[in-house]
Structure 1
């Protein structure tokens, strides 16, 4: 029986924990209350092949197509083929998916899907339904003593120790020199205002994304990339950091999400003059991939002096009952979904990049696993297909649990090629001071990121951001007693976001093309030379 620490309580973390409960000493660490996560805010749904008129091959093709040529084909096949069983398990756990007039599970259509395959619960409260069901199961496990739960506990850093690489892992000396040959032995956390060390035989990072890096985001306040930053500091390989997905339709000025399902139900996008413009941009119109729609709105707003575009749901049948959570949220901001044009802008939504893992969640650090948004299996490529994220958490959380059951081992979990592509980042090569204090304010950082790491980037802006963040983010580590607990949390969070911003900028600077969610105004077209390869790009990022 191993001691397993799971950091995070969204769908990926909860799935992993429930799979391991009773067979290992499982401790779930969550920054806020149990279930407070991006998962709980997911309005859209979960994609999966559950009907005879759909096929796994079609879901694979749609996922690869949305990924703009950079999706890992094997990871996509795992996601789409194992997804249906995971959905059935969620239903068995108590998730009441919506049903149609025939009593079958109702299926919705979202952008870049070729067939309706999106399952919803509560209309537009799918994530909450999933988190509620899994949280109930976890609290039952806590009550029986098979899981320990630490709420309001923040990850500060990973604790690692040196180890020799597995003799059978097949890594070249060049690659092993580039990768920190270490194993994780525990974590440092902040709990009740005090520092604690938690030991473990395996650590699973399920800490979600880093949307609070941006001035405009759909993510909750806790999404500050704590697990990703801790992994970078520990020397873990990361990949695809330049690919951050911006949701096309957040309520202007608030970040409140207007689900893609509203457009899937027939709501068009209008510019400030009331003109429907998406059919002129892409033959799929409002249901083009998210990167296409977000960029189109961004550019249309620039052409109309920054004024927002609009979602027009006034002609969608029974719109208030189909999207009750969205209707309530808009009402709180003074809008009526059934009668008003809803002003929308793009906002940071989902991180395709992250800690590089294999198909079982193993990272380049032995005994360290990553699942969900913090991980990068390559399944999303350059742009995530709508409603694949909840599925990803369930599928790869299950696989990570199975790998831990076998034994965490000392292998990196990545191939030589993956390591050579993923590990040569400036952060992994230079390292950082643990939880270094940052001299950049959160507000300044968010404004810089929105301006230079947003929907469109260019060489000048990326270098300006790196120059601006070049001092202060690796200042001497501060002592815990120097700040009040809340001040300490905020400073560590900001330092984490600074580190992640540098990594995104370095990767974005290296990828001199536009692909998926990464748009370079100075390199507006995809490059056939760079297609599908990141090794040279990351090597350049190290030297830039």
Structure 2
């Protein structure tokens, strides 16, 4: 394999965490690995709700941390919740300085929206449902103007190289067709900020490329993975047959939108005191039950917003329009969809993974903030906080050198892309057997299918990364014999008595569980 050595910090990913870290590392030179043109295909740009921060006069970081821990169903790390929520306001102000046009009142105060499981309105947003897109646009503009940042657009990461227990390089290839021979790019430090795993499921709100590859890549290199079984399903993905599914932002329910079924019956009031603003896992399961019963659940915005939805929530209105729905007249059909992976590469409070020389931020990480069920709009906040933490930690390991030549990259022919039929089968398996409601029989069967798919398609590193993450999710779900947060076991419907525990697992552990599952096939 051809090798290129650079003095630039290597950042895998091009979402919010990657961009923010690159800016905070300046003037240290960095090179970003971006499968798409900046701003395209990143989960951060698709985030509708906004960034959570205690900014109301009656609110406090302590309240925000309390809500975070309540939503997380007993497995949130209190120290991490305190760390992230205490600094939230600073990040809103920093993003504002960088040009993010947050919604403001006539007297210049930030417009605050309430979302599920928040005790206060504390989500700052942009044009109702365009926070992720506009924050990304502001950061991309800053990155384009920062001379220390090089972006390799159209490249994707395949493998981590670890020597002597230290991450020393990343194998990359041309992302356009995933057919080029890989090139090993070596650098002084590596930051993984390449998104989560929602696209491993057939029904997802994530961009098409976000299929657990970064988590799987780190797992295959020997990194410790935490909380893999906790996958959050957004309650109100639009059920219109699109892949990925458009998202009807939680802010709509914050404005008073209600959930009804095809009979016009509002069903959340009988399930939770907070009704439509119950924690996401509660709402998602209620909607899932309506889907299974054939009751066609829908989000009704007509009374609270009417025509105003078309100006206040322009993204949702556009999704509706292209699917022939007028939300001022008709309710929006919804279904739960894989949305956010609370699990990922285990990091300490400094953003370091278990492998030396490797840092992780954003959805690919598992910091302990989200527990078993992420509090709405904490995802972008966590990415920002840990991007800066990682940048500061990496900066302390670097020499004083502030310049490095650009990475000159050419790819030769070669490489084996994932087989579309195998990816389709993997996604269907995850939705059907490792989805909203799980049981031992289904998880055993899922592990068997993943093993067979991996055996038949093991020449594709990208597909191996997907299978590694899928294996970790299914194995973690099999081992956790309880229902907690987003993890619902129909054969173990109650949580284990006592404090909740986070899970930790190496890929080798998950493969041993998978091998045992395969023995049941014979």
Per the TM superposition, whether the score is higher than 0.5 is yes
Residues matched between the structures, number? 483
Q: CA deviation at 1:441?
A: 1.2
Please say if 1:188 is aligned against 2:141.
no
Distance 1:477-1:249 versus aligned 2 partners, 3 A rule: closer
Say whether the 8 Å CA contact 2:457–2:463 is kept in structure 1.
Answer: no
User: Which residue of the other structure, out of 340, 343, 366, is the alignment partner of 1:376?
Assistant: 366
Asked if residue 407 in structure 1 is aligned to residue 376 in structure 2, the reply is no
Aligned mate of 2:474, from 505, 513, 516 = 505
Compute the displacement of 1:533 (Å): 5.2
Are residues 1:217 and 2:200 paired? no
The 1-side partners of 2:31 and 2:505 are apart by: 40
Counterpart contact for 2:13–2:33, Cα < 8 Å: yes
Does 2:302 align with 1:314? yes
What's the TM-score, normalizing by structure 2?
Answer: 0.88
Which of 330, 353, 356 in structure 2 is aligned with 1:363?
353
Q: Deviations over 1:193-225 (max 9, x none)?
A: 342221111000000012111110000111122
Question: How many Å apart are 1:447 and its aligned residue?
Answer: 1.2
C-alpha spacing 1:157/1:474, structure 2 compared with 1 (3 Å)? farther
Secondary structure of the corresponding residue to residue 58 of structure 1? helix
| Correspondence for 1:177 | none
Asked if 1:112 corresponds to 2:117, the answer is yes
The aligned counterpart of 1:174 is none
Deviates more, 1:493-502 or 1:374-383: 493-502
- 1:227 and 2:214 aligned: yes
Q: Contact 1:437 / 1:472 at 8 angstroms: preserved in 2?
A: no
The unaligned stretches of length 5 or more in structure 2 are: 1-5, 400-414, 517-522
C-alpha displacement of 1:453 = 0.9
Counterpart of 1:134 (choices 115, 139, 144) is 139
Matched, 1:4 2:9: yes
Match of 2:44 among 1, 17, 39: 39
Residues 224 and 494, structure 1, Cα contact 8 Å, conserved in 2 = no
TM-aligned CA deviation for residue 100 of structure 1: 2.2
Normalising by the residue count of structure 1, what TM-score does the alignment of the two structures yield?
Answer: 0.85
Distance 1:214 1:82, change over 3 A: same
Q: Is the 8 A contact 1:122 1:129 kept in 2?
A: no
* Residue of structure 1 in register with 2:495 after alignment: 526
Tell me if the contact between 1:67 and 1:385 (Cα under 8 Å) persists in the aligned partners. Answer: yes
Q: Is the 8 A contact 2:128 2:251 kept in 1?
A: no
Query: Counterpart of 2:172 in 1: which secondary structure?
Result: strand
Structure 1 residues 216, 189: CA separation in 2 closer, same or farther (over 3 Å shift)? Answer: same
Residue 165 of structure 1 is matched in structure 2 by none
Question: Helix, strand or coil for the counterpart of 2:269?
Answer: helix
Which residue does 2:408 correspond to in 1?
none
SS in 2 for 1:279: coil
Given the alignment, which residue of 460, 465, 468 partners 2:441? 460
Match of 1:69 in 2: 74
The corresponding residue for 1:330 is 320
3-state SS of paired residue (1:188): strand
Taking a change above 3 Å as real, the CA distance of residues 537 and 28 of structure 1, as seen in their structure-2 partners, is closer
Gap change, CA 1:39 and 1:436, over 3 Å in 2:
closer
Point out where structure 1 has 5 or more consecutive residues left out of the alignment. Answer: 163-181, 410-433, 479-490
Aligned to 2:406: none
CA distance in 1, matches of 2:230, 2:421: 23
1:148 to 147, 150, 162: 150
Say if 1:507 and 1:538, in contact at 8 Å, map to a contact too. no
The 1:501–1:102 alpha-carbon spacing in structure 2 relative to 1, beyond 3 Å, is: same
Q: Paired residue for 1:257?
A: 247
- The worse-fitting range, judged by mean Cα deviation, of 504-513 and 99-108 is 99-108
Is contact 1:4-1:200 (8 Å) kept?
A: yes
Deviation at 1:189, TM superposition (A): 0.3
- Describe the shift of the 1:121–1:190 C-alpha distance in structure 2 as closer, same or farther (beyond 3 A): same
Equivalent residues of 1:438, 1:474 under 8 A apart: no
Between the aligned partners of 2:158 and 2:508, the Cα distance in structure 1 is: 29
* CA distance, structure 2, for counterparts of residue 536 and residue 222 of structure 1: 25
Describe the shift of the 1:79–1:2 C-alpha distance in structure 2 as closer, same or farther (beyond 3 A).
farther
- Out of 242, 264, 279, the residue aligned to residue 274 of structure 1 is 264
SS in 1 for 2:87: helix
CA distance in structure 1 between the aligned counterparts of 2:265 and 2:467, rounded to whole angstroms: 39
The CA distance in 2 between the partners of 1:405 and 1:13, in whole Å, is: 15
For residues 229 and 140 of structure 2, what CA distance do their matches in structure 1 show? 33
Match of 1:412 in 2: none
Contact 1:107/1:119, CA 8 A, preserved across alignment? yes
1:469 and 2:450 equivalent?
yes
Q: CA deviation at 1:492?
A: 4.3
- Matched residues in 2 for 1:504 and 1:302: separation? 23
State how far apart, in whole Å, the 1-side matches of 2:423 and 2:398 are. 37
Q: Closer, same or farther in 2 for the Cα pair 1:99/1:436, shift >3 Å?
A: closer
- Secondary structure (helix, strand or coil) at the match of 1:60 reads helix
Task: Look up the match of 1:496.
Answer: 465
Q: Tell me whether 1:102 sits opposite 2:107 in the alignment.
A: yes
Aligned to 1:19: 24
CA shift at 1:249, angstroms? 0.5
Residues 1:437 and 1:222: Cα distance change in structure 2 (over 3 Å): closer
Taking structure 1 as reference, are residues 113 and 538 closer, same or farther at Cα in structure 2, changes over 3 Å only? farther
